[in-house]
Amino acid sequence: MQIIVEARKNAAVDALYQKVEAQTPITLKAIAGCTWSSATKAGVTEIEVGTALHPEAALYHELLHADLKISGLTLPPFAVSKNPNSIGISDTLYAIENELQHHRMFGAFTAAGFSPAHFYDDDDHAAFKKIRQTLDAIAPSAAPTSFLMLLLTIIAPGGKNSDADRQTLKKTFYSRCSGGTRAKMEKIEGVFKAWTASPSLDTKPPIIQILNILGEYDGTWIGGGTPSPSNGEQTAAIGVSSAVHERHARQNPTKYVDP
């Protein structure tokens, strides 16, 4: 694939490609659009290759996801719950876990010489605009999870929007939250800061901390790996498939908000 050949002319990309491939054979799949993704499971890494103005940065991003998995990052989490609020929790878990990875990857990305602006896909310049549009319409009383999905994009490291824009947007974001939600979001920012500084590769503790702070999912069991029924009890298993691809894009900020 020519775009990969070009990307691997970058020495850092080629070195990480060889490191990943030595442990998990890499398969490449061309896809339409600019949202690259990758999945590492069962000893194989599959990378979906889209278009990119900076293919070396896009490929390095996916290789960093793969490298985290190979280094022992826990499998994508899943939830088992009878709490009616948990409908859609798989999206929440996936989004949190993907962003935990981004926070951990960003330092290595910039250390390899890449611009912070190239950390996400080519469409990233619109990320903050979408958030502002959503904030214009969101009710302060909306579920904390709806605000979390916006916060994840606002605090995601790097990207095409400036840090000054980020600070302005964060002020707007907090002005739209109810007092209780604001306190929750500030605590969740703290969880991300602690995770970024920590050497742990176990994403379950921060995910459970965040779900507990949200307070919408009482009685939900969170695991990692493949869901399996326990004790013969009929449970509604809402799984995140371990085949799920790590997206090169940030979360879609309009997808999770209450209508």
Binding residues for Zn ion (CB under 5 A): 246
Beta strand residue intervals within 50-166, DSSP E: 77-81
Q: Which residues pair with 210 in a beta bridge?
A: none
Judged by beta carbon, residue 95 or residue 213, the one nearer Zn ion is: 95
Which amino acid makes up residue 247?
R
Judged by beta carbon, residue 68 or residue 191, the one nearer Zn ion is: 68
- Which residues 6+ apart lie within 8 Å of 46 measured at CB? 26, 27, 28, 29, 38, 39, 40, 245
State in angstroms the smallest separation of the CB of 231 from Zn ion: 36
Judged by beta carbon, residue 46 or residue 246, the one nearer Zn ion is: 246
Whether the CB-CB separation of 253 and 91 falls below 8 Å is answered with no
Q: Which residues pair with 39 in a beta bridge?
A: 46
Judged by beta carbon, residue 67 or residue 246, the one nearer Zn ion is: 246
State in angstroms the smallest separation of the CB of 108 from Zn ion: 12
- Which residues 6+ apart lie within 8 Å of 246 measured at CB? 37, 38, 39, 62, 65, 98, 101
Rounded Cα distance, 139 and 65, in Å: 35
State in angstroms the smallest separation of the CB of 173 from Zn ion: 22
Strands of the sheet with 237-238, listed across from one edge: 220-224, 77-81, 237-238
CA atoms within 13 A on the CB side of 140: 10
Judged by beta carbon, residue 37 or residue 220, the one nearer Zn ion is: 37
State in angstroms the smallest separation of the CB of 18 from Zn ion: 20
State in angstroms the smallest separation of the CB of 163 from Zn ion: 20
Judged by beta carbon, residue 68 or residue 214, the one nearer Zn ion is: 68
| Token pair of 63 as six digits | 């290789």
State in angstroms the smallest separation of the CB of 252 from Zn ion: 13
Judged by beta carbon, residue 126 or residue 183, the one nearer Zn ion is: 126
State in angstroms the smallest separation of the CB of 47 from Zn ion: 11
Rounded Cα distance, 2 and 137, in Å: 43
